[in-house]
Amino acid sequence: MFFPRLCGACQQPLNAAEQYLCFHCKYRLPRTNFHLYRDNPVEQLFWGRVPLRAASAFYYFRREGKVQHLLHQLKYKGAKDMGREIGRLYGRELLRADAFAGSSCVIPVPLSPEKQRVRGYNQSAVFGEGLADSLGSCLMADALEKVRVTETQTKKARYARWENVAEVYRVASGTDISDRSVLLVDDVVTTGATLEACAGALLAAGAAQVSIACIAAALRNH
């Protein structure tokens, strides 16, 4: 009564049969369905930048929209169970796509140690946990590490974002990803600079192939 369970996207009270998302948001949030076809807009972001097996995002990101609110709950309000559920939902969708079949491990984009200490968790790792559960693969939450603190990416142009993250990420010492098919995950893809840097580090460390899956894509004209 005093602390009603609310939908992570629309903030309306959940009924007894609903968890984390109301039924309306669960089925009506703006899905991209990019995983169902090749050369989709997320894949196009990385053309000529880093060789990927596939790339996709679950939802379209729109400012002040429900997906932005959902991500805010996940990143800043401790909604980890909701993040895992979103990962499980998207993982079941990815099972229908040949391009994402056979990923042997799920690796999240890391936070800086300082940011992870303040927040208490990595929202991308929480999402990745749900994905790994549905895909039947393993989560390697600490496989990548951020080796220096960067400035916020929010207001930077594309090239400035790339400069800001170049040589920032590396595969952690003692982590063996040789010949593995990696699914790299993050919360939002915008210019793709961070994901490009992480994918490059994974391939340089011997990954056989890298795919990308994100909760949302903030793309122009969408």
Average pLDDT of the residues in 177-206:
95
Of 49, 38, 35, whose CA–CA distance to 185 is shortest? 35
pLDDT for 152 equals 57
Average pLDDT over the chain reads 90
Q: What are the tens digits of pLDDT across the range 205-222?
A: 999 999 999 999 998 765
pLDDT for 75 equals 93
Using the predicted structure, report yes or no on whether residue 68 has a pLDDT greater than 50: yes
pLDDT for 219 equals 84
Q: How confident is the model at residue 4 (pLDDT cuts 50, 70, 90)?
A: confident
SS3 171: strand
The structure's pTM equals 0.89
What class, spelled out in words, does domain 32-217 have in CATH? alpha beta
Using the predicted structure, report yes or no on whether residue 19 has a pLDDT greater than 70: yes
Using the predicted structure, report yes or no on whether residue 39 has a pLDDT greater than 60: yes
User: Dihedral through CA 109, CA 114, CA 117, CA 121, nearest 10?
Assistant: -10
Q: How confident is the model at residue 149 (pLDDT cuts 50, 70, 90)?
A: low
pLDDT for 151 equals 52
pLDDT for 184 equals 98
Q: How confident is the model at residue 163 (pLDDT cuts 50, 70, 90)?
A: low
User: Dihedral through CA 134, CA 34, CA 84, CA 10, nearest 10?
Assistant: -140
Q: What are the tens digits of pLDDT across the range 99-148?
A: 898 899 999 999 988 889 999 999 999 999 999 999 999 999 999 999 87
Q: How confident is the model at residue 2 (pLDDT cuts 50, 70, 90)?
A: low
C-alpha distances in angstroms, 203 versus 8, 105, 140, 190, 222?
35, 14, 15, 21, 30
pLDDT for 1 equals 47
- How far is Cα 4 from Cα 11, in angstroms, rounded to an integer? 10
Burial of 6-44, coded b for 16+ CB within 10 Å and e otherwise, reads ebbbeeeebeeebebbbeebbeebebbebbeeeebbbbe
Q: Give the rounded distance of the alpha carbon of 157 from its chain centre.
A: 21
Domain boundaries, the chain: 32-217
